[in-house]
Structures are given as C-alpha cells and as structure tokens.
Structure 1
C-alpha cells in the first residue's frame, strides 16, 4: 500500500458535522496530523508546536484535548491499536464458509488503508525500537493478531499445530510483503490470488471467492 497523503482536517471533511462556535479544529484533527508526522518523520518529530502550525491554530488549543505530549502519544497508540489490531482481529473472526474465504477476509484488511495502515504499523514498530514500553505493546498486538489468525484456521478444522504454523506463515508473510515495499501492480498481485490461497491453506478457493476479492480491491482502488 502507498503511504497516505496529508490528512483531511475535520473542518474540511464534508462527511463530518460542521464545527461551531470558536472551535477551529477537533481532537481528531490533532490526532490525524500527529499520525501523519509519526508515519512520515518518526515519533521524535511528533511535537505540539509543529502540529499546531500545520493546523493553523495556537499551541494553547492543544490543551483542550490533551494533558501533554505523553498524553498525545498514548492516544496515538490507542488509535493504532484500534485501526490495525482490532480491525484485523475482527476480520479474522468474520463468518466464512471455507478457509479460503476466511483468508480472503484477512486479505481485505491489506487492500483497504481504512482497515489496516501498514505505514502506521511500521512507524509504531520503529518507535518500539527505542522505547521498551512500546515494544511490549507491539509484542502483545502481534500475539493477539496471531491468535486471531490461528483461531481462524482452527475453526476450519486444522489441528492446533497446523493452525499455528499456517497462521505464522500467513501473518509474517503479509507484514514482510509491506516491509519490503513491494511495488508490483495490484492486478499482477491479484493474478496470483488462487495460488496464494492454495499455498496458505492447502485448498483451492471456492467458486466466486477470488472474484469477490478482486471486485473489493477494484472498488478500494477507485475510492
């Protein structure tokens, strides 16, 4: 996935309720810009003054929403967990008639930036290299994600050992794909979908499963 462009501010987003009174930006705006800086420049550059300058508001308005910079960083971690871990776990638990259909649900997360943001994930991992507390949070998230993928295989009849091994292959492959910043066209990538599904699960996909995922990918690319 490509990195997101500059964040849309709440005040500029037609899907949001208009701001009223003297409010110029929202807590969501502060988080959106802080997230963009985290992904683009690293956690060391997530500072109150640069964010306020990007938002075009006074630094003092930061304290309407956050106690201090540490509070903002904590909110960023909560935002990351909600965006990436909770969404991935939820998609692994979605009903599916076959294991190949279940893996297609897993793949949807990585085709839609609103479901899983690889850039944000790796920015938090880079942060964790310098912060032991964040390292612990990352480790717990990986355990939770792996458990969800493992349970997905187990629900479809795989024994515990096989489910665990296949979960690790699938999850670590997907993260590694983004870590290597593969730039192959999406059509080329999806052209291997049947092979990927059989490789990960040991089963050929059911009729229509790959077509449905390709339609989803096309819709996401056009949104």
Structure 2
C-alpha cells in the first residue's frame, strides 16, 4: 500500500505504477544489469543512474528493492556467491558411479553457458583487489568450492590428503585456464578430454563417459 512506502519510493505523491508508460522492473532486472556493468566496466561503473537509464526507469524505482547503493553491491555479491559458488558445489555433489564421471559433472557446469559464469567470476575478483570485504568473500567461496571438490574425491575412495591436493589442482587449473584467456576451439579441448580426466584423477575414464561429455559439450555450444 502507498502508506507503507518510503519517500524514496514515491515521487511528488504519485504512485509511478499508475503513470502512463510506466515500465515495471524487478529486483532481478536491476541485478542483471548491475552484473552486466560489473563484467563490462568494473564495479566503479555500477551506478544507480546508469542502471536506471538502461532499464528505462527512474531512480525512484531502485528503492523498491534496495536501501542504498551499498545494499545493491552487497546483494550483487551475494547473488554471485549464490550462483557461481552454488553451481560448482552442486556439480561436485551430484552422484556419479566413478570419479571420472563425477569430474564430468564438474566440467559440464563449466562448459554450459547457463552454468558457471567465468567472466563474472573474474569481475568479482578484480573488484576484490580494491575492497577487503569482497576479498574475504572471495576467499570464503574459494574454500567452499575446493572443499566440495575434495569431498567429491573422498567419496570415490581417495584419502583426505590426496583428495585435498587433487581438488586444489583441479580448481586452480580451471580458474587459471580462464585467467590465461586461452583461445582453444571446442574440438581442441574435447580432443584432450580423456587425458585431462586421467591427469586429474589417476584413473582412465570409460570411453562412454568421454563420449557422453563430448555430446553434451557440443549440444550446449550449438545453442
């Protein structure tokens, strides 16, 4: 109800939803554009006015969903952690009959455009260079991710110390792959899939596991 709205949510005593041509946007819309700006231009360009202009709404719309610019950045960081870290953890926890099949679950979320968002991940890491609070969130997320991968290896019979090292090698390699901005084609990457699986696990994958992953990777690439 209007009587429950703050002064920032109402302008000149007029409910914007009653105005002709009013564009309804959601919290997710604000966060989506904020993420786009973070990736393309850095955190310094994640501005309320810029986002509002892109969405075609006034600044007052912002206050339906966020208390302040800092609140927007806090929620943006939380959304990054919920999605990117959550995606990796769920992949590591997906049941699999073998460790190589389990690793394929991890790689599926990496190659899927709707899965792990590596440009966003690096944008947040760049943000962390300037903000100690964000750095602490990054460190926490990295620990959660490597812990999930460690448990994945342990579930398939690796002792804790070996599982820890294999998890770190796997995770650091994947982060480093994108940090190097390598320009391999999909087929080049897939040609190495079986040996990657062997290198990370010490176990030769079943041919059908490799083929299933290749089929999945080609399907998502063609979408």
Q: TM-score, normalised by structure 1?
A: 0.89
Q: Identify which range, 141-150 or 21-30, moves more after superposition.
A: 21-30
Match of 1:56 in 2: 56
Match of 1:33 in 2: 33
Contact in 1 for aligned 2:146/2:171 (Cα 8 Å): yes
Match of 1:161 in 2: 161
Deviation at 1:162, TM superposition (A): 0.9
Aligned equivalents of 2:219, 2:29: Cα separation in 1: 27
1:89-113 CA-partner distances (Å, limit 9, x unpaired): 0110101110000110111111013
Match of 1:89 in 2: 89
Structure 2 unaligned spans of 5+: 1-16
Q: Say which SS state the counterpart of residue 174 (structure 2) adopts.
A: helix
Match of 2:117 in 1: 117
Aligned equivalents of 1:67, 1:101: Cα separation in 2: 45
Name segments (4+ residues, structure 1) moved above 6 Å. none
Aligned equivalents of 2:220, 2:42: Cα separation in 1: 27
Q: TM-score, normalised by structure 2?
A: 0.89
Deviation at 1:26, TM superposition (A): 1.4
Aligned residues: 204
Match of 1:181 in 2: 181
Contact in 1 for aligned 2:52/2:58 (Cα 8 Å): yes
Q: Say which SS state the counterpart of residue 110 (structure 1) adopts.
A: helix
1:139 aligns with 2:142: no
Q: CA RMSD in A?
A: 1.2
1:56-78 CA-partner distances (Å, limit 9, x unpaired): 11111111111111111111111
Contact in 1 for aligned 2:37/2:46 (Cα 8 Å): yes
Contact in 2 for aligned 1:98/1:206 (Cα 8 Å): no
Contact in 2 for aligned 1:83/1:114 (Cα 8 Å): no
Aligned equivalents of 1:206, 1:189: Cα separation in 2: 18
Structure 1 unaligned spans of 5+: 1-19
Aligned equivalents of 1:42, 1:36: Cα separation in 2: 9
Aligned equivalents of 1:218, 1:76: Cα separation in 2: 31
